[in-house]
Amino acid sequence: MGFYTDIILPRLCDLAMRNKQLVPFRTRVIAAAEGRVLEIGVGSGMNLPFYRSPVREILALEPSPPLVAMARRASRGPRMPVSFLGASAEAIPLDEHCIDTVVTTWTLCSIPQAADHIETGYIPGPKPMTFMYEGSARPD
Ligand SMILES: C[S@@+](CC[C@H](N)C(=O)[O-])C[C@H]1O[C@@H](n2cnc3c(N)ncnc32)[C@H](O)[C@@H]1O
């Protein structure tokens, strides 16, 4: 942790992810979510305004405390409860069988192994789980 990590990087991330050209992707991805959602790498919360019913709860995982603070602000005026998990995708602090949808957008260049963990049942769910991502470095 330091000036770059605590101050510069979160602001750069927030600024970059405010790009309006990303809105159609966010709209399409988040519209497919339902039930209890785990969003991995929620960043400054740019996806949060797009969630609608049948999403009933959002668990927002983000390891950067400054980005969690920004995402908390973005989660005000809630349509559904949002809980923040200050943790990394490599060690998700959740029990098994508790997630209906996993969302992650523009994170897999930082955490490519998360996709493998999740796709191989790292967080097995009672219903078929939707794993959604856009703009990742993964070819598939
Ligand atoms: C480019 S930003 C995308 C933020 C957000 N998903 C969006 O669409 O606006 C990448 C995010 O991944 C997060 N991240 C990086 N490594 C991570 C890890 N190991 N586990 C969870 N999130 C991580 C970063 O802190 C950052 O918030």
In a domain, 139, yes or no: no
In a domain, 42, yes or no: yes
How far apart are the CA of 104 and the centre of ligand 1, in A? 8
How far apart are the CA of 112 and the centre of ligand 1, in A? 11
Q: How far apart are alpha carbons 91 and 122 in whole angstroms?
A: 10
In a domain, 140, yes or no: no
How far apart are the CA of 43 and the centre of ligand 1, in A? 5
How buried is 133 (Cβ within 10 angstroms: 0-12 exposed, 13-18 middle, 19+ buried)?
A: buried
Q: How far apart are alpha carbons 10 and 5 in whole angstroms?
A: 7
In a domain, 104, yes or no: yes
Domain range for 46: 3-132
Q: What is the CATH number of the domain that holds 51?
A: 3.40.50.150
In the chain, how many domains are there? 1
Percent of the chain at pLDDT exceeding 90: 54
How far apart are the CA of 13 and the centre of ligand 1, in A? 9
In a domain, 137, yes or no: no
How far apart are the CA of 42 and the centre of ligand 1, in A? 6
Mean pLDDT of 4-22: 94
pTM for this prediction? 0.88
Half-sphere exposure of 91 (CA within 13 A, CB side): 3
SS3 state of residue 9: helix
The dihedrals phi and psi of 117, each to the nearest 5 degrees, come to -60, -45
Ligand 1, residues 42, 103, 110: which to mutate, most atoms within 8 A of Cβ? 110
In a domain, 77, yes or no: yes
Amino acid at 45: G
| Ligand 1 shell residues, CB under 6 Å | 13, 17, 40-43, 46-47, 61-64, 67, 88-90, 105-107, 110-111
Which atom of ligand 1 lies at the shortest distance from residue 64's CA?
A: 25
Q: How far apart are alpha carbons 90 and 13 in whole angstroms?
A: 20
The model's pLDDT over 104-123, given as tens digits with 9 standing for 90+, comes to 898 877 776 666 666 554 45
In a domain, 88, yes or no: yes
The model's pLDDT over 79-107, given as tens digits with 9 standing for 90+, comes to 899 999 999 988 888 876 788 888 889 88
Structure tokens at 89: 């995708």
